[in-house]
Chain A
Amino acid sequence: MVGGPVDRLAVGAHYGARDWLAQRVTAIVMTLYTLLIALIVLWHGGLDYATWKAMFASAAFRVSSFLFMVSLLFHAWVGMRNILMDYAKPTSLRLALQIVVVCVLVAYAGWTAQVLWGGP
């Protein structure tokens, strides 16, 4: 993994310090949110519709959830791209699959906004 800077191919998983860092920062955001949810559920000793609804009525909770989803989608992009770089060797195939992944992620993002702010 730690090759010299000379003679390195500009392809292969885990290149790009910025993406590497993003993968870590998003991982921490998602872990914190996961713990938050787990704590809320444990605190209430389970969930019911009224509590659940009240949670999402809070603007702070919606913003946290949005932050979580943005982290998740970005993280999934970097991760899936790493995987494709390892297995989808022909450039055309890799590009095609990356476009599929991006389209899916954009759809997820739109769906997220609808869930968080489009509801009654």
Chain B
Amino acid sequence: MAAIERPVAKPRPVYLNLLAIRQPLPAIVSVLHRISGALLFAVGIPLLLWFVQTSLASGDGYAAAFAPLSSWFGKLVLLALAWAWIHHVLAGLRHLALDLHIGVDLAPARKASAVVMVVAILLTLIVAVRLW
């Protein structure tokens, strides 16, 4: 295991204050992909399981599963998760395209990132409109 501890290069000064560096669009999409993935893991999966279980139990349960959506807070939670899911899937598909060497040049990569951001927000807005 000693080999694993060996540093690759001599330590060099690094400046990695993420909040101070101007981030290119693909980097923002990537960070949001990570944040949305963690959000889906911690909040999305349990809520999904709770929803399916409650809604299948009975007619009353079905109503109870949708009940949180009558409050502002419930709607906001669902909206956040809808955005997380949509952004994560679109950014994930962008990853798959990049893996197939589609759109790896700078200009198309920027454009695809913009498309991911915008389409995710638009689809989330549609969800919002349907909720309210």
Contact = CB atoms under 8 A, between A and B. Distances in A.
A119 B62 contact: no
Interface of B: 4, 8, 34, 37-38, 40-41, 45-46, 49, 52-53, 55-57, 59, 62, 85, 89, 92-93, 95-96, 99
Given A9-B4, A80-B38, A115 B53 contact: yes
B99 to A, nearest CB: 7
Contacts of A101: 41
Given A49-B62, A111-B49, A27 B34 contact: no
Given A52-B56, A108-B46, A76 B41 contact: yes
B4 A11 contact: yes
Nearest to A116: B52
Among A24, A49, A53, A56, max chain B CB count under 10 A is at A49
A3 B96 CA distance: 20
Q: Is the interface of B mostly helix, strand, loop or mixed?
A: helix
Given A79-B37, A80-B41, A115-B49, A7 B93 contact: no
B127 to A, nearest CB: 12
Q: Is the interface of A mostly helix, strand, loop or mixed?
A: helix
Contacts of A76: 37, 40-41, 45
A72 interface: yes
19 contacts: A8-B8, A11-B4, A24-B99, A28-B96, A30-B89, A31-B93, A34-B89, A49-B59, A52-B62, A72-B45, A73-B45, A76-B45, A80-B41, A83-B34, A111-B49, A111-B53, A115-B49, A115-B56, A120-B57
B8 A9 contact: yes
Contact of B96 (A10, A27, A56, A83): A27
Nearest to B54: A115
A112 interface: yes
Contacts of A111: 49, 53
A31 B89 CA distance: 7
Contacts of B8: 7-9
A115 B37 contact: no
